[in-house]
């Protein structure tokens, strides 16, 4: 139990990956920054559980909030390789302590950020991994969901959604609409995703989190959000960032109401972030990449413990 679960090849590959990431952003003139892991507030997502410490501080689920405060202060393009923490997430694809690459590009559209993400992944595939990705599949959330589930996630009734979700997953509890969508995505859609790189865009508006909402080409309100999957494993999550402080506070308050309904602890509103948005964060797109999962896919491994020195059970 004292020995690492990752091989020395994996440990060296991680070091090489970090070096390549830093070189990529150095040449792109994106500034590396460092922000606190312990903060007075944390992610408000009703389905995330943060670690808290006796001082009343929280270990961050991502460096997003303080990085956005830097953007509002005029930092320009920034990135960070950071540890992040989430309770009750332990499996072959989850570890409660993990490593994120997160970056923000003021003035970029989500499509421009997607192109930069893919450029980085192609580079890492060539320089670090034992795989190469010749092409990428791009689909909207609705296209992928409807082709596999048979329902449009934007327009189907709640009743139809629940019937299909219970039939396909066997789950018999009561959930909110977006939770049923998430259940179908994880249990039914993801196993049917094509191999290689897949980018999903235009998520249901209820899954916007910290992203902007805007009409799609059919006039339906969608979240300006993307997720990147590799062989059906989610590796990256990006937003065309919400910059409206008033709207963001309303969403945080709604998250707390949902947490209360779920029986979870309500959390302090991240007022520092709200104030930064009100002061004027520039139009920005940002993305977080799970580096442990990315390294796992680059090396053709099946579980995170193959690329983490000391996972949760040995930490």
What predicted TM-score, i.e. pTM, was given to this entire model? 0.95
| Residue 270 token pair | 């991240």
113 and 188 in a common domain: no
* Predicted pLDDT at 54: 85
Do 123 and 11 share a structural domain?
A: yes
DSSP assignment of 254-302: HHHHHHHHTTPPP----HHHHHHHHHHPPSEEEEEEEHHHHHHHHTT-S
| 116: confidence class by pLDDT, cuts 50, 70, 90 | very high
Mean pLDDT of 101-105: 98
Number of domains observed in the structure of the chain: 2
Q: For 92, which DSSP code?
A: T
**55, pLDDT greater than 90:** no
Same domain, 160 and 127: no
Whether 88 shows a pLDDT value over 90: the answer reads no
108 shares a domain with 125: yes
Average pLDDT over residues 86-104: 94
State the pLDDT at residue 213: 97
304 with 204, same domain? Answer: no
What per-residue confidence (pLDDT) applies to 173?
Answer: 87
Q: Are residues 112 and 141 in the same domain?
A: no
What integer pLDDT is reported at residue 205 of this predicted model? 96
Same domain, 119 and 139: no
- For the segment 194-215, the average pLDDT, to the nearest whole number, is 95
**CA distance linking residue 237 with residue 288, whole number of Å:** 5
Instruction: Assess whether 95 and 139 both reside in one domain.
Output: no
pLDDT 10s digits, 148-168: 999 999 999 999 999 999 999
What is the reported pLDDT for 304?
Answer: 97
pLDDT over threshold 70, residue 251 = yes
Please give the mean pLDDT across all residues of the chain.
95
Phi, psi of 83 (to 5 degrees): -75, 150
Same domain (yes/no): 102, 246? yes
> What distance in Å separates the CA atoms of residue 152 and residue 302, rounded to the nearest whole number?
32
> Residue 180: is its pLDDT beyond 90?
yes
DSSP-based helix, strand, coil % in the chain, nearest 5: 40, 20, 35
Residues 8 and 98 grouped into a single domain: yes
CA dist 213 to 7, 87, 92, 103, 181, Å?
44, 29, 33, 21, 18
% residues pLDDT > 70 (the chain): 98
CATH number at residue 17: 3.30.930.10
pLDDT, tens digit, 9 for 90 and up, residues 223-248 = 999 999 999 999 999 999 999 999 99
**With bands split at pLDDT 50, 70 and 90, how would you rate the model's confidence at 89?**
confident
Q: What pLDDT, on the 0 to 100 scale, is given for residue 135?
A: 76
Predicted local confidence at residue 128, as pLDDT: 76
Most confident of 128-132, 241-245, 263-267: 241-245
Last-in-domain residue among 230, 254, 279: 230
Whether 213 and 250 share a structural domain:
no
Indicate the pLDDT class of residue 130, thresholds 50, 70 and 90: low
pLDDT value at 56 more than 80? yes
Residues of the domain holding 51: 1-133+237-315
- Tokens 């150095």 correspond to what residue? 26
Q: Are residues 110 and 148 in the same domain?
A: no
Mean pLDDT of 94-120: 97
- Strand residue runs (E) in the chain: 31-32, 38-39, 58-59, 78-85, 97-106, 136-140, 197-204, 213-215, 221-230, 233-240, 284-290
């Amino acid at each position: 139990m004292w020995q690492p679960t990752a091989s020395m090849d994996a440990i060296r590959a991680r070091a090489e990956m970090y070096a390549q990431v830093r070189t990529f952003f150095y040449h792109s003139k994106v500034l590396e920054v460092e922000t606190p892991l312990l903060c007075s507030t944390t992610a408000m997502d009703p389905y995330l559980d943060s670690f808290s410490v006796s001082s009343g501080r929280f270990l961050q689920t991502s460096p997003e909030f303080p990085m956005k405060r830097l953007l509002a202060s005029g930092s320009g393009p920034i990135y960070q390789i950071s540890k992040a923490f989430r309770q009750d997430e332990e499996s072959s694809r989850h570890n409660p302590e993990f490593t994120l690459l997160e970056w923000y590009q003021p003035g970029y559209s989500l499509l421009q950020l997607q192109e930069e993400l893919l450029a980085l992944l192609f580079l890492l595939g060539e320089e670090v991994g034992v795989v190469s990705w010749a092409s990428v599949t791009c689909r909207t959330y609705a296209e992928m969901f409807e082709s596999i589930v048979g329902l449009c996630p934007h327009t189907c009734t709640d009743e139809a959604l629940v019937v299909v979700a219970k039939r396909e997953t066997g789950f018999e509890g009561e959930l909110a609409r977006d939770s049923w969508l998430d259940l179908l995505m994880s249990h039914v859609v993801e196993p049917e995703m094509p191999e290689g790189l897949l980018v999903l865009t235009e998520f249901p508006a209820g899954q916007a989190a910290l992203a902007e909402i805007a009409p799609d080409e059919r006039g339906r309100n969608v979240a300006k959000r993307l997720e990147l999957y590799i062989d059906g494993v989610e590796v990256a999550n990006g937003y065309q960032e919400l910059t409206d402080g008033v709207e963001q506070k309303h969403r945080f308050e709604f998250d707390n109401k949902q947490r209360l309904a779920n029986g979870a602890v309500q959390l302090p509103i991240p007022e520092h972030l709200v104030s930064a948005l009100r002061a004027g964060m520039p139009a920005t797109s940002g993305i977080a990449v799970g580096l442990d999962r990315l390294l796992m896919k680059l090396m053709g491994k099946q579980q995170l413990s193959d690329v983490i020195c000391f996972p949760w059970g040995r930490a």
